[in-house]
Chain A
Amino acid sequence: MDLNFSPEENAFREEVRNFVAEKLPAPIRHKVMNGVHLNRDEHVQWQRILHQRGWGGPGWPKEFGGPGWTPTEQYIFEEECAAGGAPRLISFGLKMIAPVLMAFGSPAQQQRYLPTILSAEEWWCQGYSEPGAGSDLASVKTSAVRINSTEGDHYIVNGQKTWTTLGQYADWIFCLVRTDPEAKKQSGISFLLIDMKTPGVTVRPIITLDGAHEVNEVWLEEVRVPVENLIGEENKGWTYAKFLLGHERTNIAGIGIAKRELARLKRIAAAEGRLDEPLFAARVAQVEIDLIALEITNLRVLSAERARKAPGPEASILKIKGTEIQQAISELMMQAVGAYALPFRQADVGPDYAANLGAGYCNLRKLSIFGGSNEIQKNIISQMIMGL
């Protein structure tokens, strides 16, 4: 057992740190460090900077234009990016649809879609959840009917997707659709790529409790989708969907972000004199200790992953603890500033650092809900790991 990073890994860390310090535009850094949402252009700008360096797809193998990093290198990269105030990579293209395309897409699909994900020329969003299909994802109702026609075979898609994160920016949506209404739940589902510009696609904002427009409803009415946009085989979509959900949990612990936010919490708490209060100081210490432990747990999972490739059910442990810690930090930050956490979306009252804390706390309640709610993760742990 050796808990140290290798000299090569430490050198790599240094390289990433220097790169972020040098190349990350200051306005973006300032926003990230203060918990302000970024706009589309800012996300795209950072992705292009990374892409130029050859780091656009941290989890991608070399054959598809990625750097071919080990899980540990990816972890170091994400940690240093977070520490340096870089935006979180937009995962829908890079971490969700891309691995599915690599594993199950045709060569034509891989060539068509992967390069523009890396270069941020096209923005993807996720069409999984529906009003009636959240945790019970396999009950999706959006239908796709195959039409054989002389102008080319296609599907006609009808239905509604929801909680579509940053769908307002998206060029493409990957969707779970029902292609066999007769089949048993999981077996009648297919995986379709849909151009958001197709007639019949409508995006409507959902405003969340923090007043932000981050998620959307996507309505699909008589949307015509060429059969070339089907991933893999018809009615095998559930297999690809589960594969994707597995990848979504990689780096779900968010150690780098939590460390950055913990440092912000300590700065704010110190400025407010709260660390002199034993009870508040103990609550901060408790989160810090939980994070130290989670970092080691995360490295243990990474170490096991090296041998096995895809993240196993242990990723559920990381998801639960990681989100609990991030939520606790956001809660303590809000508490730390007292009444000045209450002015809503006002930049010019109270200390600068207090401006987004109330909204930030509200926003992060999402963490224990998305990506498989923490209750679903507990089902996975008790059933898949413990065999109950």
Chain B
Amino acid sequence: MNFDFNEEQRALADTVQRFIARDYSFEKRRAIRDSGAGWSRDVWQALADLGVLALNIDEEHGGLGYGPQETGLVMAAFGAGLLLEPYLAGAVIAPALIRRTASADYQREWLPKIATGEAIVVLAHADARGEAVTENKGKLSGRKAVVAHGACADLLLVSARTAGGGIGLFAVTPGAEGVALRDYPTLDGQRAADLVLNNAPAIKVGAGSLCVPGNPLRGQVTANAIEAALDIGLAALCAEAVGIMDATIAATTEYLKTRQQFGQPIGRFQALQHRMADMLLHLEQARSMSYLAAMHCASEDRPARQRTLSAAKVTVGQACRFIAQNAVQLHGGMGMTDELMLSHWFKRLTAIEMSFGDTDMHLQRFVRLARAA
């Protein structure tokens, strides 16, 4: 039992924190956010040069072969800096998905490009209600809703109901005929897109070992692989949230020490002290669950993994709401302004709670899994 990070992990965290401090200031982020694309290819290349895009790619495909713990450290630092670039989608979930679904050839083609920053691959999974994407004779039709960073993808991996009744994963090239992306900013300053497919050409990913032709469980295998990749992403998301909450609480503590009212720092008032203590309780419980999520997110034991990840998302989601709301409250009017980082952390924490299944959804899933056990 040991909760310390090793020297290599600390060095990695340090590198990323220094990058954020030096090259990703609040003003720089604002400029990127307000640019047409809403993200920066230059920043992406800088991340590739740092090596962090290769983190989740194994060594034989030109990566570093690290795991969820290292990813968590990086995500925490990117969280505090509110990175706008598609790290979670492109450098965490995409490699995990390709490794679990794609043929050896396909992996050899795409994983090295992800590691070097040459290609951004994004999963488009959640269907718009009533417009599920379906496959018919190698063509896809339907709508994917709020695909995070969908418009910056060089390649989209799209889940679809196949004619055979299962779930398949298909590669779709943006710009191809029948592929439309409606790109927009989201609450947290990041970008997302609705993906509208109209008889769009698609290549089935994974003629490899996981998808055996003629196997009736084939669709389930693919669905499970997508779910497994998203679980890796969920653990990373939890770590990001903890990084943001750390920064939010530090900033709020500082504000309470400096802001004077009634002739004293407002941090002297017990009502506010106790609110801060409650925020810290949420944070530490969330941090614990983020560690546990990192530990379990790649496990093969699916029910145990899902149970832990749902518990983590409930704890983290509740902490996100509590800390975000109270940090704004304790900042008073200043908490409402766009000029402080605080309100931007607030919005990202709000978005995180609603992503990858919200608190209610995960609480219900936890109940279901407990009953099934």
Contact = CB atoms under 8 A, between A and B. Distances in A.
Interface of A: 1-6, 9, 72, 275, 278, 281-282, 285-286, 288-290, 292-294, 296-297, 299-300, 302-304, 314, 317, 320-321, 375, 377-379, 381-383, 385-388
B69 A1 contact: yes
A275 B366 contact: no
B277 interface: yes
Nearest to B252: A386
A72 B3 CA distance: 13
Nearest to B360: A282
**Closest 8 A/B residue pairs (Cβ):** A296-B288, A382-B273, A378-B277, A388-B267, A381-B277, A293-B285, A289-B311, A297-B288
Interface in B273-298: 273-274, 276-278, 280-281, 284-289, 291-292, 295
Contact of A285 (B249, B253, B272, B370): B370
Q: Counting chain B CB atoms within 10 Å of each CB, which of A278, A314, A386, A387 scores highest?
A: A386
Contacts of B289: 292-293, 296
A6 B69 CA distance: 20
B30 interface: no
Main secondary structure of the interface of A (DSSP, over half): helix
Main secondary structure of the interface of B (DSSP, over half): helix
- Interface size on B, as a range, is 35 or more
Given A286-B363, A293-B289, A321-B281, A388 B253 contact: yes
A133 B285 CA distance: 33
A336 B196 CA distance: 49
B315 A297 contact: no
A327 to B, nearest CB: 15
B98 interface: no
Contacts, number: 123
A173 B253 CA distance: 42
Contacts of A381: 276-277, 280-281
A299 B1 contact: yes
A72 B1 contact: yes
Nearest to B289: A293
B268 A388 contact: yes
A199 B289 CA distance: 55
Nearest to B296: A3
Given A299-B3, A303-B3, A294 B273 contact: no
B284 A317 contact: yes
A282 B315 CA distance: 14
Contacts of A5: 1
B2 A303 contact: yes
A298 B308 CA distance: 17
Contact of B3 (A1, A377, A378): A1
Given A275-B371, A386-B253, A387-B253, A4 B274 contact: no
B311 A386 contact: no
15 contacts: A1-B69, A5-B1, A282-B363, A285-B370, A290-B285, A292-B311, A294-B285, A296-B292, A303-B3, A317-B284, A378-B274, A378-B277, A379-B277, A386-B253, A388-B257
Nearest to B6: A1
A220 B268 CA distance: 39
Interface of B: 1-6, 9, 69, 249, 253, 256-257, 267-268, 270, 272-274, 276-278, 280-281, 284-289, 291-292, 295, 308, 311, 314-315, 363-364, 366-367, 370-371
B256 A388 contact: yes
Given A278-B367, A293-B285, A317-B281, A388 B273 contact: yes
Contacts of B274: 375, 378-379, 382
A65 B280 CA distance: 39
A296 B280 contact: no
Contacts of B1: 2-6, 9, 72, 299, 302-303
A289 B366 contact: yes
A72 B1 CA distance: 9
Contacts of A1: 2-6, 9, 69, 291
A388 B270 CA distance: 10
B55 to A, nearest CB: 16
B281 A320 contact: yes
A149 to B, nearest CB: 48
A387 B281 CA distance: 15
Given A3-B291, A379-B270, A317 B2 contact: no
Contacts of A375: 274
A2 B294 CA distance: 11
Given A289-B314, A303-B1, A381-B277, 8 more contacts: A1-B5, A72-B1, A286-B363, A294-B288, A378-B274, A379-B273, A386-B280, A388-B253
